[in-house]
């Protein structure tokens, strides 16, 4: 059974989301932790600029454990941090978790509807989890299918066309507020991907 635990811009401000964001090296360390009692058999963490989402696969019929808490404890490695994340995050199981993942890959759960970067961020998370060896056949199949669906949305609809990114929306917002950008100077604070796209 698929379980997920996620925190995004709809339920948490930037500072809260940032407090739970782990670097790739920290995510690798989380992947290296031994699953609590072997319950979470497969594991994936997705960190984007607007979300932290954890996915796990557990065998059907698992006993009275709080599966979402075990997922968070594996990710953070500390019960207090896991509990803090649980208090702010949304837990999903089964078909609800699958539907949510598909909505994420399609850009429907993004701050900017159809955000063109989410598919690449999900692929990057998938590659890291696969390289480290925490993915199993269930999450492989699920992620392959979700990514194919996201690509189909991009290819067959206009949802991810045009200015579907935080950077491009920032430029459009500045143009509206200033009455255009011709002969204007600007400073972009930050040197990450969003700053480059701006």
- The set of catalytic residues is 49
Instruction: Kindly tell me the sign of the dihedral angle through the C-alpha atoms of 184, 162, 96, 56.
Output: negative
What's the CA gap between 120 and 171, in Å, rounded?
Answer: 22
What's the CA gap between 185 and 66, in Å, rounded?
Answer: 53
What's the CA gap between 7 and 24, in Å, rounded?
Answer: 18
Q: What is the largest CA-CA distance in the chain?
A: 65
In sequence order, the β-bridge partners of residue 90 are: 6
Q: Look at residue 175 and give its three-state secondary structure.
A: helix
CA distances from 83 to 55, 88, 89, 125, 184 (A): 17, 9, 10, 23, 48
Q: What are the structure tokens assigned to 196, written together?
A: 């480059």
Query: Which secondary structure element, helix H or strand E, spans residue 47, and what is its range?
Result: strand 40-48
């Amino acid at each position: 059974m698929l379980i997920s635990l996620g925190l995004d811009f709809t339920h948490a401000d930037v500072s809260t989301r940032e407090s739970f964001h782990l670097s790739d090296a920290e995510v690798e360390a989380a992947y290296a932790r031994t699953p609590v009692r072997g319950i979470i058999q497969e594991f994936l963490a997705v960190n984007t600029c607007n979300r932290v989402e954890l996915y796990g696969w557990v065998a059907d019929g698992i006993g009275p454990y709080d599966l979402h808490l075990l997922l968070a404890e594996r990710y953070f490695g500390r019960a207090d941090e896991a509990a803090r994340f649980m208090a702010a995050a949304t837990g999903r199981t089964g078909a609800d978790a699958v539907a949510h993942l598909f909505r994420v890959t399609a850009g429907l759960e993004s701050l900017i509807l159809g955000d063109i970067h989410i598919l690449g961020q999900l692929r990057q998370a998938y590659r890291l989890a696969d390289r480290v060896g925490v993915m199993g056949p269930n999450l492989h199949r699920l992620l392959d299918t979700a990514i194919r669906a996201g690509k189909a949305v991009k290819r067959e609809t206009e949802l991810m066309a045009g200015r579907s990114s935080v950077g491009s929306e920032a430029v459009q917002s500045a143009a509206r507020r200033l009455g255009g950008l011709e002969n204007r100077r600007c400073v972009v604070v930050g040197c990450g991907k969003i700053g480059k796209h701006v």
